[in-house]
Amino acid sequence: MLDIKFIRENPERVKENIKKKFQTAKLPLVDEVIELDKQIRSLKLEGETLRASRNELSKQIGILMKNKEIDKANEIKATVTQNNQRIAEIDPLLEETQKVLNQKMLVIPQMVDESVPVGKDDSENVEIEKYGEPAVPTYEIPYHADIIARFNGLDKDASGRTSGNGFYYLVGDIARLHSAMLSYARDFMIQKGFTYCIPPFMIRSDVVNGVMSFAEMENMMYKIEGEDLYLIGTSEHSMIGRFKGQIVKEADLPITLTSYSPCFRKEVGAHGIEERGIYRVHQFEKQEMIVLCKPEESMDWYNKMWSYTVEFFRSLDVPVRTLECCTGDLADLKVKSCDVEAWSPRQQKYFEVGSCSTLGDAQARRLGIRTKGENGTYLVHTLNNTVLATPRGLIAVLENNYMMDGSVRVPKALQPYMGGVELLKPIK
């Protein structure tokens, strides 16, 4: 959500930003909000003028009544009555106009960083750098569901009966490896100086509206029937919501947090929930990192954060690359974003395992998250990044550590979380 003053003073820049995001249908919104803002300021001025006049006239009435100038006092009383009637008209009109303005403001996208490449969708994202050698072994790498089946590690028949398509049971060594990755991700971020948190897994609608766009909410969030609660799609939602309406101490910035949560997503508009595998599912687990910082520090933190995800996957012997998200692939609240993708030796291509974003002051403005410094109160910047989202991360580890005999090598970093086990041997 942009500052109305910024829109008022830079309408052409805002329109150009909308064009860069290929959202031309939103262009009329700029002029509409400027006109609504003009009406609001005019109504506020009129209301303030009438109230000031009423106060002054009320004083005059008191003097006239004291001097027994009843007729003059009654004339002024009539004027005061008219003023009160107009004020009574202005207040609800002002409230309704402000509501309409806010609704339209929520739809105008955040200004993207000048470094973001212009493109229509994710097909035009730009590769930044590769880390690690994307090797292809001489032997065949099976589909991940088939790898897991050799360990009796996946039961989708049962989850279909209990929960439907898009859910799963992980079992045995595979479940243990999955949990080991999450525990390692937690400790990895703690060692980076982040504070570990477990947040609420449900949030209210005012928090949802503060952390994401309406379109994202419709495509992602599960709503609890009969209650003002939504299941989170990522712990970023409740972690940022934690600071709603707060003035954090400037001395406490940056606030660096890492959070664990299950995540729930409808995946509306996705390329299909997989029948056999666990690449795209309705439920997964995630270790996230969240930063609240001063505006001038946000880009430095952005670069640190995605580099931590690269370092994490490289420590698991998984080659990765980073992709710069183009303008058309950025959600409306994002200023800049990049994806971390893991190498799939089976498909011989990369697939997304994490995403890092700086949202500038967009979430802070919506949620009223501020800090107070020497030059007054100002909005903080918020950033988020995936450390590990799994079972997708699990797939990357399984494929890149799969051996010719069907066993899976346990990366050294995970062995302490697996009781020292170095190799997972298939049951069948």
Give the per-residue pLDDT at 74: 85
Superfamily per CATH, domain 4-105: Serine-tRNA synthetase, tRNA binding domain (1.10.287.40)
Q: Per-residue pLDDT for the chain (428 aa), expressed as one digit of tens each?
A: 899 999 999 999 999 999 999 999 999 999 999 999 999 999 999 999 998 988 888 888 888 888 888 888 888 888 888 889 999 999 999 999 999 999 999 999 999 999 999 999 999 999 999 999 999 999 999 999 999 999 999 999 999 999 999 999 999 999 999 999 999 999 999 999 999 999 999 999 999 999 987 777 777 899 999 999 999 999 999 999 999 999 999 999 999 999 999 999 987 555 555 667 999 999 999 999 999 999 999 999 999 999 999 999 999 999 999 999 999 999 999 999 999 999 999 999 999 999 999 999 999 999 999 999 888 999 999 999 999 999 999 999 999 999 999 999 999 999 999 999 999 999 97
CATH 1.10.287.40 boundaries in the chain: 4-105
3-class secondary structure, 59: helix
Rg (CA), the chain: 28
pLDDT at 220: 85
- The CATH 3.30.930.10 domain(s) of the chain lie at 122-424
Give the DSSP per-residue string, 82-148. HHHHHHHHHHHHHHHHHHHHHHHHTTSPPPPPTTSPP-SSGGG-EEEEEES-----SS----HHHHH
The amino acid present at 63, given as its one-letter code, is: I
CB atoms inside a 10 Å sphere around CB 101: 19
In Å, the largest CA–CA distance within the chain is 108
Topology of the domain covering 122-424: BirA Bifunctional Protein; domain 2 (3.30.930)
> Residue 92 contacts by C-beta under 8 Å, 6 or more apart in sequence?
none
Q: How far apart are CA 105 and CA 149, in angstroms?
A: 50
The CA dihedral of 158, 152, 412, 278, to the nearest 10 degrees, is -40
